[in-house]
Amino acid sequence: MGRKWNNIKEKKASKDANTSRIYAKFGREIYVAAKQGEPDPESNQALKVVLERAKTYSVPKTIIDRAIEKAKGGSDETYDELRYEGFGPNGSMVIVDALTNNVNRTAADVRAAFTKNGGNMGVSGSVAYMFDATAVFGIEDKTEDEVLEILMEADVDARDIIEEDGSVIVYAEPDQFHAVQEAFKNAGITDFTVAELTMLAQNDLSLPEDAKAQFEKMIDAIEDLEDVQQVYHNVDLSE
């Protein structure tokens, strides 16, 4: 699973280089999660997940508080959660998750980002079956055996545990996100290099340099869209 972790690292590095845009996306996601349930992460699990992710991207507290206060204030601003699926160069596969207040605009923008960069939109289900919803945690200053012991003592199952580049990466079923998180926090681990609910490709695809460059341009165009929150794909960008 090392290559899957490399893709997550590449994605995080890309996001870290565009902080203002990422903060805006998190603000929207936090608002939606708080609006759909209680604006308290202790009673709103969806909000709790978003806030944990925001922490790993160093989202300022002011942005988090502003989004939650907006939800508390009874704002009538609403967003639809959408998922698009499509293909890039050489049969590469892409999933795009969006939050939008204008479905037609977002659909047109995502389609244009695909088609202008050598890709095309697919129908619902044309790509997602090749991905697995997965909870992923990255931990530093622990060994693989120590992490395994923590999870075993908490009676929490992990799909896979690997040690790579100074971090221990834990892959678990998505419904185990909170159980894994609590197991670590009870063991005194509160800082994660990554804490994500993500979609991991079952098989990674290597592209030749020309196709890889085109693919990266397409992904950048999609991620630059205001309404796009998450982009998942099956291309190994670490090579």
Fold of the domain built from segment(s) 80-129+203-233: Alpha-Beta Plaits (3.30.70)
Local structure of residue 57 (DSSP, 8 states): T
Per-residue 3-state assignment (H helix, E strand, C coil) for 29-51:
HHHHHHHHCCCCCCCCHHHHHHH
Fold of the domain built from segment(s) 130-201: Alpha-Beta Plaits (3.30.70)
Euclidean distance between CA atoms 62 and 59, whole angstroms: 8
Euclidean distance between CA atoms 17 and 127, whole angstroms: 28
pLDDT tens digits, one per residue of 35-54: 988 888 888 989 998 998 89
Local structure of residue 234 (DSSP, 8 states): -
The average pLDDT across 108-125 equals 96
Euclidean distance between CA atoms 219 and 88, whole angstroms: 9
CATH 1.10.10.200 domain extents, the chain? 2-72
> At 27, is the secondary structure helix, strand, or coil?
helix
Main-chain dihedrals φ then ψ at residue 224, nearest 5 degrees:
-75, -15
CATH 3.30.70.980 domain extents, the chain? 80-129+203-233, 130-201
Contact 126, 85 (CB under 8 A): yes
Percent of the chain with pLDDT over 90: 70
Euclidean distance between CA atoms 38 and 197, whole angstroms: 20
Q: How confident is the model at residue 15 (pLDDT cuts 50, 70, 90)?
A: low
- What the block records as the tokens of 3 is 């290559």
- What the block records as the tokens of 14 is 């890309």
The average pLDDT across 98-105 equals 96
Specify the CATH number for 2-72; select among 3.30.56.10, 3.40.50.150, 3.40.50.720, 1.10.10.200. 1.10.10.200
